[in-house]
Amino acid sequence: MSEWLKEHAWKACIVKAIQGSNPCPSASFISAREHVPSDHKTRCGWIGAKSTPLDIEYHDKEWGVPVHDDTKLFEFLILEGAQAGLSWQTILNKRENYRKALHNFDVKKIARYGEKDIERLLKNEGIVRNRLKILATITNARMFLEVQKEFGSFDKYLWGFVGGKPIKNGFTSMKQVPASTKESDAMSKDLKKRGFKFVGSTICYAYMQAMGLTNDHTTNCFRYK
């Protein structure tokens, strides 16, 4: 299946999941109704009855917080790509395994990975053992270094797509949150042109949300500022 078809199939999956008409892998994660844990704080609708303490901690402390550290920007570029076709909950549960398997996301080391490393990763049950995604991790590390060389930092390059400051939305429901935007379209187009893999517009928008380039916490969420 081409990358375009994969991207649009996943986007359709998200829309149907929100509408409650599609049992795709992440449907329960996306369409879960708002859940109030024992602390009684109101959170975004993607924190639901099936959310784990890890999900809640991620929502409360990381999701939507502006990130300017290149190492963390690289980490999430890889994790968002690994998520394609899966739920974020699945990737979040494997996050520590990824850190161990990928030398704590040391981009320079990963850029030098060879066939032995590829085989090692394919045998690692703690991560997503998909050859294309593993190869993309190495390719993206190399391209990441090229961007750093050109712009001085990946941070400077990335934040240029939003004019250097977060886009603050005012969504009242997760149903209003788009799967992609003109900014994610532009990011995706440029990343692909530079040779990055698994960077379709939907993936880029999820990346923007995670790294705080856009604030998509709903207005009733205690994290909305």
Residue 205 region by backbone torsions, left for phi larger than 0, else alpha for psi between -120 and 50, else beta: alpha
**Which residues fall within 8 angstroms of residue 14, CB to CB, at 6 or more apart?**
26, 30, 179, 202
| E runs forming strands in the chain | 167-168, 214-215
| E runs forming strands in 106-194 | 167-168
Catalytic residue among 63, 88, 113, 159: 88
How many Å apart are CA 54 and CA 179, to the nearest integer? 24
- Please report how the helices 88-101 and 53-61 are oriented relative to each other, as an axis angle in degrees rounded to 10: 80
Which SS3 state, helix, strand or coil, does residue 69 take?
coil
Catalytic residue among 10, 46, 58, 98: 58
Q: What angle do CA 31, 84, 162 make, to 5 degrees?
A: 85
Catalytic residue among 80, 157, 183, 205: 80
How many Å apart are CA 115 and CA 130, to the nearest integer? 14
Q: Is 113 a catalytic residue?
A: no
Q: Is 58 a catalytic residue?
A: yes
Q: Name the residues annotated as catalytic.
A: 58, 80, 88
